[in-house]
């Protein structure tokens, strides 16, 4: 979950609240839930209204002791939200001037290598804190999950589930459907999958632009404690964050040359469903591919399959 909509405040500003008491209700793309207070105190400030949506990493309210001066905490939170009051603006400007003086010889305050969930969220957070930030990514923003993991596999599973619903539609009173002829057009399935992935990748790009993060396409190579080379150019940064992710590794076993061996990455781009397939690994991706292949190739009675 990356964001949620605040549905209801259970406590207003000035109300007393106890640790564990419901504070507000939030709606996400997966569920609705009540969020409990993490301490005793008084609600000093709400930062969003009911019905507004906010990223889960951003501040939503301040709880303090009765009579406490929480101006600094409120100003810091408002700065993160981009709702910077005059006092916070002055503090932020001073901080930026100080940072500028300290990093006069550097191109950026922070350089992030890798545009996956760890990298792009770190870049956004850094930019929101007033740091001049650059993100370097050699492929596409979004990382494994968005491009070659959970997002594309879910689109394939939706196609398989739709086919399964057609096969089982008689149980729901649907008549005159030639279920034995139902199947998947893999070209259409792949086009839908690619469209969804492209849309989300573009969304991450817009987040970078909105938060003022510079994005450089290319492979970054560390050349020093504070320097990175990319596309033949060297950039410098006071701090460098490595978020390079992972790659599939081939198993060190002998394989019959007649067998076609692919990784989950290539499996996402298949244009037909294999008649026979062995999946090595029972993790999330392996199970999802097994599910997809089962429903796309199964010729028997679907009533026993959930």
In this prediction, residue 301 carries a pLDDT of 47
Contact 64, 45 (CB under 8 A): no
Q: Please report how the helices 117-128 and 186-210 are oriented relative to each other, as an axis angle in degrees rounded to 10.
A: 20
Kindly tell me if the per-residue pLDDT of 296 is higher than 80.
Answer: no
Of 197, 228, 247, which residue constitutes the final position of a domain?
Answer: 247
In this prediction, residue 243 carries a pLDDT of 93
Specify the higher pLDDT residue, 249 or 140.
140
Residue 146 and residue 285: Cα distance in Å, rounded?
13
| DSSP 3-state of 58 | coil
Q: What is the pLDDT of residues 183-218, one digit of tens each?
A: 888 899 999 999 999 999 999 999 899 899 999 999
Q: Does one domain contain both 59 and 137?
A: no
Q: Could you identify the residue written with the tokens 């701090």?
A: 239
DSSP designation for 62: E
Of 201, 222, 247, which residue constitutes the final position of a domain?
Answer: 247
The four Cα atoms 70, 75, 81, 85 give a dihedral, to 10 degrees, of 130
Closest CA to 142 of 120, 116, 123: 116
What percent helix, strand, coil does the chain show, rounded to 5? 40, 20, 40
CATH classification of the domain holding 22: 2.40.50.100
Q: What is the pLDDT of residues 98-120, one digit of tens each?
A: 233 333 357 899 999 999 989 99
Q: Does one domain contain both 235 and 124?
A: yes
Q: Does one domain contain both 134 and 232?
A: yes
Specify the higher pLDDT residue, 249 or 34.
34
Kindly tell me if the per-residue pLDDT of 45 is higher than 80.
Answer: yes
Q: How confident is the model at residue 83 (pLDDT cuts 50, 70, 90)?
A: low
Q: How confident is the model at residue 249 (pLDDT cuts 50, 70, 90)?
A: confident
Q: Does one domain contain both 8 and 49?
A: yes
Q: Domain for residue 272, yes or no?
A: no
- Residues 253-285 as b or e (16 or more Cβ within 10 Å = b): eeeeeeeeeeebeebbebeebeeeeeeeeeeeb
Residue 279 and residue 203: Cα distance in Å, rounded?
32
Residue 302 and residue 306: Cα distance in Å, rounded?
8
Q: Does one domain contain both 49 and 109?
A: no
In this prediction, residue 237 carries a pLDDT of 92
Most confident of 2-6, 29-33, 40-44, 90-94: 40-44
Range of the domain at 226: 103-247
Q: Does one domain contain both 180 and 110?
A: yes
Q: Does one domain contain both 73 and 114?
A: no
Q: Domain for residue 296, yes or no?
A: no
Burial of 6 (C-beta count, 10 Å sphere; 0-12/13-18/19+): buried
In this prediction, residue 1 carries a pLDDT of 56
Q: Does one domain contain both 170 and 82?
A: no
In this prediction, residue 183 carries a pLDDT of 81
Q: How confident is the model at residue 94 (pLDDT cuts 50, 70, 90)?
A: very low
Residue 306 and residue 298: Cα distance in Å, rounded?
13
Angle at 65 between CA 60 and CA 71, to 5 degrees: 60
Q: Does one domain contain both 110 and 201?
A: yes
Instruction: Calculate mean pLDDT across residues 219-223.
Output: 92
Q: Domain for residue 229, yes or no?
A: yes
Taking the alpha carbons at both ends of the chain, their separation in whole angstroms is 26
> In the predicted model, what is the mean pLDDT of the chain?
82
Specify the higher pLDDT residue, 36 or 86.
36
Q: Domain for residue 253, yes or no?
A: no
Q: Does one domain contain both 62 and 132?
A: no
Of 232, 247, 262, which residue constitutes the final position of a domain?
Answer: 247
In this prediction, residue 221 carries a pLDDT of 93
Q: Does one domain contain both 131 and 78?
A: no
DSSP designation for 122: H
Number of domains in the chain: 2
Q: How far is CA 219 from CA 86, 200, 232, in A?
A: 41, 22, 10
Q: Domain for residue 295, yes or no?
A: no
- The total of other beta-carbon atoms located within 10 Å of residue 240's CB is 21
Q: Domain for residue 197, yes or no?
A: yes
Residue 16 and residue 71: Cα distance in Å, rounded?
18
Q: Domain for residue 148, yes or no?
A: yes
Q: CA quadruple 33, 38, 43, 47: dihedral positive or negative? A: negative
Q: Does one domain contain both 9 and 141?
A: no
Q: Could you identify the residue written with the tokens 């969304």?
A: 203
| Contacts for 20 with CB less than 8 Å, ≥ 6 apart | 36, 37
Q: What is the pLDDT of residues 115-126, one digit of tens each?
A: 998 999 999 999
Q: Domain for residue 18, yes or no?
A: yes
Q: How confident is the model at residue 53 (pLDDT cuts 50, 70, 90)?
A: confident
Kindly tell me if the per-residue pLDDT of 225 is higher than 80.
Answer: yes
CATH classification of the domain holding 177: 3.50.50.60
Q: Enter the pTM of the model.
A: 0.59
In this prediction, residue 166 carries a pLDDT of 87
């Amino acid at each position: 979950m990356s964001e949620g909509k605040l549905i209801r405040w259970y406590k207003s500003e000035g109300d007393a609240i106890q640790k564990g008491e419901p504070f507000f209700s939030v709606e996400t793309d997966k569920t609705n839930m009540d969020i409990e207070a993490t301490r005793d105190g008084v609600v000093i400030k709400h930062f969003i209204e009911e019905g507004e949506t906010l990223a889960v990493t951003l501040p939503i309210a301040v709880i303090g002791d009765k009579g406490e001066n929480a101006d600094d905490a409120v100003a810091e939170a408002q700065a993160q939200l981009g709702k910077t009051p005059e006092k916070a603006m002055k503090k932020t400007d001073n901080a930026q001037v100080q940072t500028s003086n300290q990093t006069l010889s550097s191109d950026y305050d922070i350089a992030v290598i890798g545009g996956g969930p760890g990298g792009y969220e770190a870049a956004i957070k850094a930019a929101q804190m007033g740091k001049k930030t650059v993100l370097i990514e050699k492929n596409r923003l979004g990382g494994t999950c968005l491009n070659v993991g959970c997002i594309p596999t879910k689109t394939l599973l939706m196609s398989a589930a739709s086919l399964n619903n057609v096969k089982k539609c008689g149980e729901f009173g649907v008549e005159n459907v030639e279920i034995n002829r139902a199947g998947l057009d893999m070209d259409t399935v792949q086009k839908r999958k690619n469209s969804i992935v492209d849309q989300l990748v573009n969304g991450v790009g817009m987040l970078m632009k909105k938060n003022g993060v510079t994005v450089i396409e290319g492979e970054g190579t560390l050349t020093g404690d504070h320097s990175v080379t990319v596309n033949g150019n060297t950039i410098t940064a006071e701090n460098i964050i490595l978020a390079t992710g992972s790659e599939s590794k081939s198993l060190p076993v002998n394989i019959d040359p007649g067998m076609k061996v692919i990784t989950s990455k290539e499996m996402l781009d298949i244009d037909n469903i294999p008649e026979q397939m062995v999946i090595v690994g029972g993790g999330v991706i392996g199970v999802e591919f097994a599910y997809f292949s089962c429903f796309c190739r199964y010729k028997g009675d679907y009533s026993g399959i959930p």
